[in-house]
Amino acid sequence: MTSILEVVDVSVRYGVGCERCAPADGPARCPVCGSVWACRGLSFDVDSGDVMGIVGESGSGKSTALACANLDLVPLSGRVRLLGEDVTGIGGARRRELRAEALGIVCQTPAQGLDLDLTAGGNVVSRMLAAGARGYEALRRRASELVQATELPLERMDAVTSTFSGGMQQRVQVARALATRPPILLLDEPTSGLDVSVQVRLLDLLRRIQLETQVAMLVVSHDLGVIRMLADRLLVMRQGRIVERGLTDQLLNDPRHPYTQLLVSSQLS
């Protein structure tokens, strides 16, 4: 088992902070200085082949956790390690390399993760180009492989991405994320805004890809149904903290923390 992602005691704060901020079980927003602690003391790791879910409602800090993993945010304290390398606060060329080769991300909305004015194939190869690939034929081959693997119609590979439906655009994101064969895929509410039948197809695709390639995944969602489909292990976050963690089916069957019990009982279906 190789360690892919390690998040160690990470805290992210918006605002200046003060001595009274962030007591062990205080609120996420400091009543004295107004700083918001987006996450506090976050620790978890993802090894090769793991699928880790993070569930929580708005303001839970789950998206912040993902942003730290994606090197989008520099934590106030704590460390983030990728494949054993300390990447906390990293910038510049190394960050770009890692984001092109070691991390794949599927953003909540296609507009965030794609350039909708490019062709689908262009979006798919963009990270390969960022990683230094320079053979046109090789790029085309890999792009068609991925387009097919994500069940997109091959004949639309050269169509402009803005002409695709939302569900198809999400598939383009998946293809793009997988293009450089990263060891870990980060998924931020991957099914948000999609019709239910489209959601199911996308989740099915992600599940199959995970089974076939054994890529590690970190899935953030407010929807326990999504988590249940994809994740073996789960973190429950509230107000910036992990309140409970365990195997997904264990947390769903035997939630212990009051908040987890509330979440599980609130699920429709």
Instruction: Point out which residues bind another protein (CB under 8 A).
Output: 1, 47, 50, 92-93, 96, 100, 115, 118-119, 121-122, 125-126, 129-130, 134-139, 158, 200-201, 203-204, 207, 211, 228-229, 232-233, 246-247, 249-250, 253-254, 256-258, 261-262, 265
User: Which CB atom, from 11 or from 169, has the smaller least distance to another protein?
Assistant: 169
Asked if 32 and 100 count as a contact pair (C-beta separation under 8 A), the reply is no
User: Which CB atom, from 38 or from 143, has the smaller least distance to another protein?
Assistant: 143
- CB of residue 33 to another protein, shortest distance in Å: 31
User: Which CB atom, from 38 or from 54, has the smaller least distance to another protein?
Assistant: 54
Asked if 112 and 34 count as a contact pair (C-beta separation under 8 A), the reply is no
- CB of residue 258 to another protein, shortest distance in Å: 4
User: Which CB atom, from 17 or from 49, has the smaller least distance to another protein?
Assistant: 49
- CB of residue 52 to another protein, shortest distance in Å: 10
- CB of residue 54 to another protein, shortest distance in Å: 14
Render 74-116 in DSSP notation, one character per residue. --SEEEEEETTEE-TT--HHHHHHHHHHTEEEE-SSHHHHS-T
Q: CA-CA distance, 136 to 179, in Å (whole number)?
A: 14
Q: CA-CA distance, 56 to 85, in Å (whole number)?
A: 28
- CB of residue 249 to another protein, shortest distance in Å: 5
User: Which CB atom, from 65 or from 114, has the smaller least distance to another protein?
Assistant: 114
For residue 200, the number of C-alpha atoms closer than 13 Å in the C-beta half-sphere is 2
Evaluated on CA atoms 112, 66, 170, 172, the torsion sign reads: positive
Q: Output the six-digit token pair for 83.
A: 């494949």
